[in-house]
A and B are shown apart, each in its own frame.
Chain A
Amino acid sequence: MSATVNETAADALRAETIVKSFGAVTALSGVSLHVKRGEVLGILGDNGAGKSTLMKIITGYHKPTAGQLYVRGEAVDLASVDHARALGIECVYQDLALVNTLPIYHNMFLNRELRTPFGMLDHRTMRRRAAEALEDIGVNVPSVDEEVEMLSGGQRQAIAIARAVYSEAKILLLDEPLAAMGAREAGLIIDLIQRQRARGDISIIMIMHNYAQTLEIADRVMLMQHGEVTFSGAARDTSVEELLEIVRREYRAARAR
């Protein structure tokens, strides 16, 4: 046990041979990953490769069928999303997990509401802090009282990201953070990710679809296809061409099987 702790102390998060089946569908067949403190790991891969499923196992949303998670060197079996959050794991899900009928500031503090000493919701402070956080990033919204339903796709995404970042996560998971973003907004978010990284104590795992962008931002990249890892290495030692070649080769190999 102590040997394991020492060996992996540098890893903020490590997942070992994670398997996840949904009935007959095997979404993950033995996936391992690790991310160091202060490191950005980019995950690329086909649609349906199991990327989101892997994220949801790390956030405690899904229980793995087999495999083990280690957080800062210690084996953990996540019992719930709250458990993962207590360990400093935050996620921006692909579906954003926003409640349309609630105003922006309530979404920003969803399940982490600020309360007065009597246990009442502290609307005023949440409103102010939400406005400050969004202004800090440079996201324009008419008012934090606005219901999320009325916002554009990019604005919604920015709010979900701001929520995760301002929770002071130690391990930040981003599932396609730039998917609905315009060029200016994507720039803001990349900026925000870089600023977080500069803090030095945060580890970021981001699922992406743009290969060039990923190689630019990430320290390491990982390729996932049909529930397996088909490549993992330092971003500066590989190229878009090499990654695409692996994707094509693995795709043909999987089809031939």
Chain B
Amino acid sequence: MSQPISLRRHGSRLFALREASILVVAILLFGYFAISNDNFLSGANLQTLSQFIAPAAIIACGEIMLLICGEIDLSVGQVFALAPFIMAFSVKAGLGLFIGIVLALLVCAVVGLINGGITVLLRVPSFVTTLGTLFLINGFTLTISRGYPVNTPGGATIANIFGAEGYSEFLWALLIVLIMHAVLRHRRWGLHTIAVGGNLTGATEAGINAARIKVGNFVLTSVLGGVTGILEAFRIGSTDPLAGGTNIMFLAVASGVIGGTSLAGGSGTIIGGLLGATVLGVLQDGFTLAGINAFTFDMIIGGAILIAMIANIRVQGMRKGGRR
């Protein structure tokens, strides 16, 4: 019993501690690659690195909110691909870019509503619900695109604002991270998200509308997926119907979990998610520069994610050990 005592004391600070420790890991990795490779700190490479971190960090904001309230969205990578197509086709139909973007995000919101509705009202686990919509949306995007990529509409200025200019996507990511951090820590929405994930019955007994919180976070995640897809479309100049996919979804969830968000629900951090995305980005970028091939890289990333998840669950075990 002597060990959990100190945990009891610092229980509330445990997650701040985890944010700090993942920050140290990020700095160590950054330092290692900066020393071992001359090109790592070059302007061009830092820009590439920022463009790798940004999409994972934005989507992680949504997945973290969902994980905290006890759910997950596997379909967000497919929404990522769908949004720029809706935008491009709207512009082609003469609706203009602004309406195109609004329409695209509205469609994303509807997908979130469907994900949340099926999960909450029909009590299907979100893992299953969103696995279904993952295939559904993917098929839909492939159908409307007939499998071909489209060019991103809009002039150079618009494109630069929305992701094409060097760090603009990263700045969008930072802005969204800051807003979502404030939502989680300083708004009722965030507090109730934690309450629903921490004690569903208790939150309901206290009068919190758990269905509203959960559905809202599904909508948020889908919309953030759409935003990321659109930013990436502007950055690259075109969109492929298979862009994003399970790869970006997995990176986002892994970012959240590496950053310290609990897989069991009830706690998590947005800043940790940004740090998690940074760690994954630095690994990816550093190993690419070092000339390690993609297959080896996948093994390294897979291993890193596994270790982070095991650490996550062990920390939860220690928290539980503090009581009873």
Find chain A residues with CB under 8 A from B202 CB. 93, 95-99
Find chain A residues with CB under 8 A from B185 CB. 121
Q: Interface residues of A: mostly helix, strand, loop or mixed?
A: loop
Report how far A99 CA is from B196 CA in the complex, Å: 8
Asked if A154 CB lies within 8 Å of chain B CBs, one says: no
Asked if A81 CB lies within 8 Å of chain B CBs, one says: yes
The CB with the most chain A CB atoms within 10 A, among B194, B202, B203, B207, is that of: B207
Q: Are A81 and B206 in contact (CB under 8 A)?
A: yes
Q: Are A146 and B11 in contact (CB under 8 A)?
A: yes
Asked if B36 CB lies within 8 Å of chain A CBs, one says: no
Q: Are B188 and A115 in contact (CB under 8 A)?
A: yes
Q: Are B198 and A97 in contact (CB under 8 A)?
A: no
Report how far A115 CA is from B262 CA in the complex, Å: 27
Asked if A36 CB lies within 8 Å of chain B CBs, one says: no
Report how far A101 CA is from B319 CA in the complex, Å: 10
Q: Are A147 and B11 in contact (CB under 8 A)?
A: yes
Given contacts A100-B198, A100-B266, A121-B186, whether A81 and B12 have CB atoms under 8 Å apart is no
Report how far A61 CA is from B208 CA in the complex, Å: 11
Given contacts A95-B202, A96-B202, A97-B202, whether A110 and B195 have CB atoms under 8 Å apart is yes
Asked if A119 CB lies within 8 Å of chain B CBs, one says: yes
CB closest residue in chain B, given A104 = B12
Asked if B199 CB lies within 8 Å of chain A CBs, one says: yes
Report how far A80 CA is from B205 CA in the complex, Å: 10
User: Which residue of the partner chain, among B191, B194, B204, contacts A61 with CB atoms under 8 Å?
Assistant: B204
User: Which residue of the partner chain, among A80, A99, A119, A147, contacts B195 with CB atoms under 8 Å?
Assistant: A99
User: Which residue of the partner chain, among A59, A97, A111, A151, contacts B201 with CB atoms under 8 Å?
Assistant: A97
User: Which residue of the partner chain, among A56, A85, A102, A119, contacts B194 with CB atoms under 8 Å?
Assistant: A102
Asked if A120 CB lies within 8 Å of chain B CBs, one says: yes
Report how far A99 CA is from B197 CA in the complex, Å: 9
Q: What's the least CB distance linking B218 to chain A, in Å?
A: 21
Asked if A113 CB lies within 8 Å of chain B CBs, one says: yes
Report how far A96 CA is from B206 CA in the complex, Å: 10
Report how far A59 CA is from B266 CA in the complex, Å: 25
Q: Are B191 and A102 in contact (CB under 8 A)?
A: yes
Given contacts A81-B205, A99-B203, A111-B208, whether A146 and B191 have CB atoms under 8 Å apart is no
Number of chain B residues whose Cβ lies closer than 8 Å to a Cβ of chain A: 32
The CB with the most chain B CB atoms within 10 A, among A99, A119, A120, A147, is that of: A99
Find chain B residues with CB under 8 A from A96 CB. 202
Q: What's the least CB distance linking B166 to chain A, in Å?
A: 33
CB closest residue in chain B, given A103 = B12
Q: Are A111 and B206 in contact (CB under 8 A)?
A: yes
Q: Are A149 and B322 in contact (CB under 8 A)?
A: yes
Find chain A residues with CB under 8 A from B207 CB. 80-82, 85, 111
Q: What's the least CB distance linking B72 to chain A, in Å?
A: 18
Asked if A145 CB lies within 8 Å of chain B CBs, one says: yes
Asked if A20 CB lies within 8 Å of chain B CBs, one says: no
Q: Are A150 and B206 in contact (CB under 8 A)?
A: no
Find chain B residues with CB under 8 A from A123 CB. 186
Given contacts A145-B12, A149-B11, A150-B323, whether A101 and B206 have CB atoms under 8 Å apart is no
Asked if B267 CB lies within 8 Å of chain A CBs, one says: yes
Q: Are B266 and A101 in contact (CB under 8 A)?
A: yes
User: Which residue of the partner chain, among A56, A121, A145, contacts B191 with CB atoms under 8 Å?
Assistant: A121
User: B residues bordering A, Cβ < 8 Å?
Assistant: 8-9, 11-12, 182, 185-188, 191-192, 194-195, 197-199, 201-209, 262, 266-267, 319-320, 322-323
Provide a sorted-by-A list of 7 A–B residue pairs whose CB atoms are within 8 angstroms.
Answer: A61-B204, A93-B205, A95-B205, A97-B201, A98-B202, A103-B12, A150-B8
User: 5 closest pairs, A vs B, by CB?
Assistant: A81-B207, A97-B202, A101-B266, A99-B198, A97-B205
Known pairs A82-B207, A106-B191, A119-B187; list 16 more (Cβ under 8 Å).
A56-B205, A59-B205, A61-B205, A85-B207, A93-B205, A97-B203, A98-B202, A99-B198, A99-B199, A100-B266, A101-B194, A120-B182, A121-B191, A142-B9, A146-B12, A150-B11
